[in-house]
Amino acid sequence: MIKIKQEAGFCLISVKAVPNAKKTQLAGEYNGALKVKVAAVPEDGRANGEITEFFSEILGVNKSHVEIIKGFKSRHKVIKVTGVSADKLKVLQS
């Protein structure tokens, strides 16, 4: 089960990033985190930028509403999404 935490006005979601993929896409669940294949290298924040842009697109929110708050240099990240309910994020699990 993917860890999603609802707070006042935002949600937190655990993400496992897999850089250097052919394309950026959801890849299921990994140890309680949403696994995301990222079509960017993990250098100079490129993979992090790709992740925030990807989440903003699939959730239909502005890029400024998606923020990595933990794990900037790690494959294990916590992403904060403002203005989205936990129910909308649970759709990502399927």
Is the pLDDT at 66 greater than 90? The verdict is yes
Question: Which residue type is seen at 93?
Answer: Q
Q: Cα–Cα distance between 25 and 18 in angstroms, integer?
A: 10
Instruction: Please list, in sequence order, all residues whose beta carbon lies within 8 angstroms of the beta carbon of residue 50, skipping any fewer than 6 positions away.
Output: 24, 38, 39, 40
Q: What is the pLDDT of residues 75-91, one digit of tens each?
A: 999 999 999 888 888 77
Q: What is the pLDDT of residues 20-65, one digit of tens each?
A: 999 999 999 999 999 999 999 989 999 999 999 999 999 999 999 9
- Which structural domains are found in the chain, ordered by start? 4-33+46-84 (3.30.1200.10)
Query: Which pLDDT band holds residue 94 (cuts at 50, 70, 90)?
Result: low
